[in-house]
Structure 1
Amino acid sequence: MNIILLSGGSGTRLWPLSTERRSKQFIRLFHDEAGRPVSMLQQVWRRLGSRGLHQSAVIATSANQRETILEQLGCEADLVLEPEKRDTFAAILLSVAYLCSHRGVSRDEPIIVMPVDGRTEDSFYDKLLQLPETLTSSGANLALMGVRPDFPSQKYGYMVPEGDSGADTALTIRAFHEKPSKSDAVRYIERGALWNCGVFCFRAGYLMDRLKAVGLPEAYEELLLSYDRIESRSFDYAVVEREERIVALAYEGPWKDLGTWCALTEEMNRPLIGPGYIGEECDNVHVVNELEAPTIVLGLSDVVVAASPEGILVTHKESSSRLKEALDRMGRERNNDKKASSERTVDSSAFPDGTSVTTRRIHLEAGEELVTAPSADVRRIVSWTVLHGRCRLFQNGRELPAAVGRSVVLGEEDSARLKALDPLDLIEIITECHA
């Protein structure tokens, strides 16, 4: 058994907790049997571990999530790091090449792909283990897991079978429909359709043949160097919906994609996470607070309050589906106000000895410059750390190396100029002594 866990995605549907740098699967919003906070990723890993399957798994992810995953799962987690984000098709191809090149997986061995951001029970994993046998007995090229719908959701994709049958019988899939209208969803359910939960099973050679067909190398290290040549599409569109020999197993138990605040809070076993208080008169209120300052909610119902250093969200649960639209609009308004979007003070502290420290997050567009020079009135030390993007950095007229993660400290007598070559984000820390 070989398993690929997809953990490279990021999004804004759970903003302000879910961001480009921290995906929803890393947020510790649940608790284990001992009451310790755990994330979706940790829950999936624990369930695989209880079946001895975690040693057969690799995690496909982006480089900026590496440290978070190792911190949550430990160094035993085997990671396949994407050089750049190119959607699930590329991530799965790279992972299959890794399994074949580094773990000696043969062309005939089955591989299961699954996401790490779903909420389900142990019985789901029991059904998961039936996929390789289903692949063999059916003669199909792909075997999928599907969930029996319990209502006509418009959030999920539907797999429509050729005919309906029992829970342990493979269904031949004839059509896929992504996020249909409610009336169409009702019609699909009447035809025995299943929700697509993003779980696939295939033999390693099935995807290795695709690499060969498009002229891409099969060796993992060589494929890394050619990663930008892989089609940037989802595995569903690039493979699943083009395959004719495809079957699915129906899972009858509970399953939920925790992609919205409304869905997520239904699964939280505590209404309050972080410092705060929810009034006794409140009904169906959830608070997730990552700030040191407490949050108090009084006299409200059906509300989510979420706070992090990225921002604060207060929404009625039924309106949380409009979050992406609100963030897009806010982003456009910020872009129209360059001064507002170019810099933000993260922290400002003053000390009794006359020293002050200001930390700013700065964004520069390509071609824009940041300049500092000695001051005759105050002793000043400036530190710049590049977070993202390329730039040229000059200190006292001499060019210095500048790369993501590199910091430069400018003394009291130094002058410096930084020019952005791409859209650039950096942290500036200014320490001044007024004594």
Structure 2
Amino acid sequence: MLSPTPVVPVILAGGSGTRLWPVSRDSLPKQFQALIGDHTLYQDTLKRVSDRTLFAPPIVLTHEDFRFFARRQASEIGIDATVALEPVRRDSGPALLAAAMIAQRVAGESCLVLALAADHIVLDDQLFVDACRTAAIAASDGKIVTFGITPTEPSTAYGYIRPGKETGQPGSRVVDAFVEKPDKNTAAHYLTEGYLWNSGNFLFPAGLLIEEAERFEPEIVAAVRASVELAVEDLGFIRLDAKAFASSPAKSIDYAVMERTSRAAVVEGRFRWSDIGSWDALRDISEGDASGNVTFGPVTLLDSHNTFVHTDGPLVAAVGLDDVSVVATDDAVLVMPAHRSQDVKALVAKLKADGHNAASEHLRAHRPWGTYQTVCRGERFHVKKIVVEPGGRLSLQKHYHRAEHWIVVKGTAEVTLDGKVFEVRENESTYLPLGGVHRLANPGKIPLELIEVQTGSYLGEDDIVRLEDVYNRS
């Protein structure tokens, strides 16, 4: 049976990626960063499904905080994506069901859906597309297909799939069992028995996944269906109904459907793949030097072996390291034995419990209009560099506890202050008194850069009263 085309790609882009701290944090997780190459992991995922002879335009499901990232990064590579907003995290089960229902509205009740995580790496795009074509044939024959990856080692970081007999469609087999992450000896046994890594990516008829979920988890389906039916459009985004979606139990698609259905099939993916679930995983898919060292960014090593160093800013220089991982950003440094990379998630939890802002936030904060970055902070003052993209407009706002000075270093600022609108050009400045109702905008064609100096008794970001906002932030 030939598969109907195109297939609707659904990109799940709402994860936090704490195991890759300090580069990946809640405020900017790994899928929206360029860990390998010039594009972000999310952009690479979108490019992978850009062949319009097989794939329809994608649907992206992400969190409210990342909606402008998702649309902007898709636009940067020439892809027009439908972006739906997940109001709260409820794991992959409700997310995939919501995406399947949206896909039916966009592409028809009988459409096929390809569900992909936005933060995985695939190094052989053509082999990936070939696997999708094979999976689409099996899905058209009434299967929920998962992609099993040919193991390269007895890894304990992944779950496994035990393939069974052939489905009757070329290249696909029945799933005999899904098994949890094993210990080293069990993983070695799995390799000899022909088990595959479970990639957590799927291709399925939208209606079939919903039908199977209704059999096993009717409460989830009812909540998700209500959230989709009550969804509204907001600035071009599909905003799922928050109350309905939040009423759904949180459950992964594996537990909700895949481990219980008799319709599961597996297609073997021979492409190189990683879910980048730890710094070790990034190291494993990267090429090292003659001493086994893998480095990213400005790094100088002396007499070091089997060492991984990733820096996105400061120079890292090291002597005599062996089997060590070092990750550096402008405001945090992680050092650990390489084999302890799975413990980073627990470390981040401790940092959060201890109240460290760097556990969740980057120095550079991203907003719909551009970015701001802390330059210096002290008692009663905070200095930031602010960049406003062309056409960007901050909210009309006021503060109860701080005044601000703006010094323009590049471009032209349009400033609104207590009803008066005026321009501030390069090397000029303006003062915004405490309580003044103000707005900053960039009317020009180049990014506006300025230095903001805040002074006052309280300088937290929650001392913002938004009176008007073009981005519909509350």
Normalising by the residue count of structure 1, what TM-score does the alignment of the two structures yield?
Answer: 0.71
Cα deviation digits, residues 113-170 of structure 1 (max 9, x gap): 1212222212122111211211234x43x12111122322111111113358999532
SS in structure 2 at match of 1:188: helix
Give the match for residue 60 of structure 2: 59
1:241–1:284: structure 2 CA closer, same or farther, 3 Å change rule? Answer: same
Report the more deviating stretch, 277-286 or 165-174: 165-174
Give the match for residue 343 of structure 2: 322
Q: CA-atom RMSD, angstroms?
A: 3.8
Cα deviation digits, residues 61-81 of structure 1 (max 9, x gap): 111112222332217222111
Deviation (angstroms), 1:232: 0.9
Deviation (angstroms), 1:251: 1.9
Confirm or deny: 8 A CA contact 2:12 2:116 kept in the other structure: yes
Alignment of 1:94-109 (within 5 A): 94-101=98-105, 103-106=106-109, 108-109=110-111
From 285, 304, 328, the counterpart of 1:282: 304
Alpha-carbon distance in structure 2 between the residues aligned to 1:428 and 1:305: 36
* Amino acid corresponding to residue 27 of structure 2 in structure 1: R
Give the match for residue 129 of structure 1: 133
SS in structure 1 at match of 2:73: helix
Confirm or deny: 8 A CA contact 2:8 2:55 kept in the other structure: no
Counterpart check, 1:25 vs 2:27: no
1:409–1:239: structure 2 CA closer, same or farther, 3 Å change rule? Answer: farther
Alpha-carbon distance in structure 2 between the residues aligned to 1:165 and 1:143: 11
Alignment of 1:349-368 (within 5 A): 357-358=381-382
Give the match for residue 173 of structure 1: 175
SS in structure 1 at match of 2:267: strand
Deviation (angstroms), 1:51: 5.5
Alignment of 1:34-433 (within 5 A): 37-50=38-51, 55-74=56-75, 76-101=80-105, 103-106=106-109, 108-120=110-122, 121-122=124-125, 123-137=127-141, 139-140=142-143, 142-163=144-165, 168-209=170-211, 210=213, 213-214=218-219, 215-216=222-223, 217=225, 220-222=228-230, 224-225=240-241, 226-268=244-286, 271-274=294-297, 276-291=298-313, 293-309=314-330, 311-332=332-353, 334=354, 347-348=375-376, 357-358=381-382, 381=403, 410=434, 426=461
Alpha-carbon distance in structure 1 between the residues aligned to 2:319 and 2:74: 38
* Amino acid corresponding to residue 96 of structure 2 in structure 1: I
Deviation (angstroms), 1:196: 0.8
* Identity across matched positions, percent: 27
Normalising by the residue count of structure 2, what TM-score does the alignment of the two structures yield?
Answer: 0.66
Deviation (angstroms), 1:89: 1.0
Alpha-carbon distance in structure 2 between the residues aligned to 1:166 and 1:283: 50
1:295–1:172: structure 2 CA closer, same or farther, 3 Å change rule? Answer: same
1:150–1:166: structure 2 CA closer, same or farther, 3 Å change rule? Answer: farther
Alpha-carbon distance in structure 2 between the residues aligned to 1:245 and 1:55: 24
* Amino acid corresponding to residue 261 of structure 1 in structure 2: W
Alpha-carbon distance in structure 1 between the residues aligned to 2:191 and 2:134: 24
Deviation (angstroms), 1:211: 5.9
Deviation (angstroms), 1:298: 3.1
Q: Which runs of 5+ in 1 are unaligned?
A: 32-36, 351-355, 361-370, 374-379, 384-407, 419-424, 430-435
1:169–1:381: structure 2 CA closer, same or farther, 3 Å change rule? Answer: closer
Q: Which runs of 5+ in 2 are unaligned?
A: 1-6, 232-239, 289-293, 364-372, 385-398, 406-431, 437-455, 465-474
Confirm or deny: 8 A CA contact 1:164 1:191 kept in the other structure: no
Confirm or deny: 8 A CA contact 2:325 2:335 kept in the other structure: yes
Cα deviation digits, residues 2-23 of structure 1 (max 9, x gap): 1111111112111001111222
Deviation (angstroms), 1:206: 2.0
Report the more deviating stretch, 298-307 or 38-47: 298-307
Report the more deviating stretch, 258-267 or 82-91: 258-267
Confirm or deny: 8 A CA contact 1:147 1:251 kept in the other structure: yes
1:45–1:53: structure 2 CA closer, same or farther, 3 Å change rule? Answer: farther
Deviation (angstroms), 1:359: 5.3
Cα deviation digits, residues 29-80 of structure 1 (max 9, x gap): 222xxxxx22222222222225655643211111111222233221722211
Confirm or deny: 8 A CA contact 2:9 2:56 kept in the other structure: no
1:242–1:250: structure 2 CA closer, same or farther, 3 Å change rule? Answer: same
Alpha-carbon distance in structure 2 between the residues aligned to 1:63 and 1:219: 15
Deviation (angstroms), 1:260: 1.0
1:149–1:128: structure 2 CA closer, same or farther, 3 Å change rule? Answer: same
1:178–1:167: structure 2 CA closer, same or farther, 3 Å change rule? Answer: farther
* Amino acid corresponding to residue 135 of structure 2 in structure 1: L
Alpha-carbon distance in structure 1 between the residues aligned to 2:340 and 2:66: 30
* Amino acid corresponding to residue 327 of structure 1 in structure 2: V
1:163–1:203: structure 2 CA closer, same or farther, 3 Å change rule? Answer: closer
Confirm or deny: 8 A CA contact 2:9 2:49 kept in the other structure: no
Give the number of equivalent residue pairs: 360
1:8–1:45: structure 2 CA closer, same or farther, 3 Å change rule? Answer: same
Alpha-carbon distance in structure 2 between the residues aligned to 1:427 and 1:289: 31
